A and B are shown apart, each in its own frame.
Chain A
């Protein structure tokens, strides 16, 4: 299945946030979206996932989702969005309930995704007993349980410390390293350019608000072979930073202005 952004534009009241965004992402592909603060990255992701209606343009899907997919476009949230009153297992179960699955099928799926995210031993644990990295792994397990075609991730690692981020990044690389037509695709919004060059096939660099695609950077190196200290990748990250540096500073000043006016 392919997800297509078709000339998407959006504004909140008088504030234009997105301008004419077009791209497509297919099976096994990772598109990272980077850009200065407030340029509309989260808005774009919500539009792509059907949580918000764009003012112009459309989010489209083409082709069939993976067999037995319960939720082709699935979010992984920055703040994890786990139910604190459900155990790890219960949180995964939440998204399987109401689909008419048999108990056995549900159990099987829960077992499978927990083992893929190395959470089997924590099935009965409540989220607050887990570390941040483990909580996000629960978020990922829950997303995998519904057999998505595409994961929509909004800064999934930004609430985590550097070591945990590094470990989870390895997990994410494994997730999207299949080649079949049913392989998982990903739209990955991030502030972190190192994450973008580590994970993405293509990086969409958005301009400051209203966000439009300034540049599309392609990275061809085999994802599994990429190392975060690889000189080539470090250079790509630096280039990206040069691209958005002026914009980011400007965006920062604008935000500060807004805050002073409000205050």
Chain B
């Protein structure tokens, strides 16, 4: 053995050359700090462009003006009014859509009776841009809160159903067979094997549903509401108050971040085993 090693060490001959390195590449690393710095740089650039008079303050107010507008709306209580109106609609619609979606998705995933009609129906209705149904919902439920909540519920329902039954389909059938072979009840198999197994897929469905929900929320508020961030943005645009308009946009992007952060936290907690 030692001889072999010795030979190897002795032999790097004239003709030897290193093996060409072919690892690495296409494995981007993330640097939080660099990402953050890029964002700050962009904002500074924007501020500089405004201060130097390169862009009209009416078309594109400076970051400072936007923050100022946001601050004033916060102090006057205007922000709270609009934001709480929006949050209530979003929460209501999302809760209804997602609960119904998970239940229906499970039914499609588990029952042959529901599967064929259910999956076909979902496939047929999913492509409808849900905001197109708002006028119909206004006819049914009136111009008030219900029609907006219904639009959001309807819009979040479909991606949730599709994600849920896809996730149920993907649960390892050998685990289900294991459960049956140990005599677990159907309820135990659903609650202890299928549901936890489908959870990762369901949660990523909720992510998609939440972003669709926010889009629908704003659209619905722009069509017919006095309060709500969407209504506020629209009103600001009509009055050419671009600082308030962008303040609303900032609030919306923060809302999106908060919702996705919340889902991320839930994932982290429930899917710790991964």
Chain A residues packing against B (C-beta within 8 Å): 49, 51, 70-71, 74-75, 77, 79, 81, 83-86, 94-95, 97-98, 126, 128, 142, 146
- Looking at chain B's contact residues, the main secondary structure is helix
> Residue A51 contacts which of B172, B177, B188, B192 (CB distance < 8 angstroms)?
B177
How long is the Cα–Cα vector from A77 to B180 in the complex, in angstroms? 13
> Residue B273 contacts which of A75, A85, A146 (CB distance < 8 angstroms)?
A85
Residues of chain A contacted by B271 (CB below 8 angstroms): 85
How long is the Cα–Cα vector from A94 to B172 in the complex, in angstroms? 17
Q: Which of B182, B184, B273 has the most CB of A within 10 A?
A: B182
* B181→A83 contact, CB < 8 A: no
Interface string of B245-274 (1 = CB under 8 A from A): 000000000000000000000000001011
Interface presence of B23 (CB below 8 A)? no
User: What distance in Å separates the Cβ of B188 from its nearest Cβ neighbour in chain A?
Assistant: 6
> Residue A70 contacts which of B178, B181, B183 (CB distance < 8 angstroms)?
B183
Least CB separation from A70: chain B residue? B183
* B182→A146 contact, CB < 8 A: yes
User: What distance in Å separates the Cβ of B196 from its nearest Cβ neighbour in chain A?
Assistant: 5
> Residue B182 contacts which of A71, A79, A128 (CB distance < 8 angstroms)?
A71
Residues of chain B contacted by A142 (CB below 8 angstroms): 182
* B188→A98 contact, CB < 8 A: yes
Interface presence of B175 (CB below 8 A)? yes
B interface, size bucket: 20 to 34
B residues 174-219 with Cβ under 8 Å of A?
174-175, 177-185, 188, 192-193, 196-197
> Residue A98 contacts which of B181, B184, B273, B274 (CB distance < 8 angstroms)?
B184
Residues of chain B contacted by A98 (CB below 8 angstroms): 184-185, 188
Least CB separation from B181: chain A residue? A75
6 CB < 8 A contacts A-B: A51-B177, A74-B182, A79-B174, A81-B175, A83-B193, A83-B197
If A94-B192, A98-B188 touch, whether A71 touches B183 (CB-CB below 8 Å) is yes
> Residue B184 contacts which of A74, A86, A95, A128 (CB distance < 8 angstroms)?
A95
Sample of 8 further A-B pairs with CB below 8 A, known A51-B180, A77-B178, A81-B178: A70-B183, A79-B174, A81-B175, A83-B193, A85-B197, A85-B273, A94-B182, A97-B192
* A83→B182 contact, CB < 8 A: no
Residues of chain B contacted by A84 (CB below 8 angstroms): 273-274
> Residue A81 contacts which of B177, B185, B192, B196 (CB distance < 8 angstroms)?
B177
Q: Which of A74, A77, A85, A86 has the most CB of B within 10 A?
A: A85
Residues of chain A contacted by B175 (CB below 8 angstroms): 81, 83
How long is the Cα–Cα vector from A84 to B181 in the complex, in angstroms? 18
User: What distance in Å separates the Cβ of A95 from its nearest Cβ neighbour in chain B?
Assistant: 4
If A79-B174, A81-B174, A81-B175 touch, whether A74 touches B192 (CB-CB below 8 Å) is no
* A74→B273 contact, CB < 8 A: no
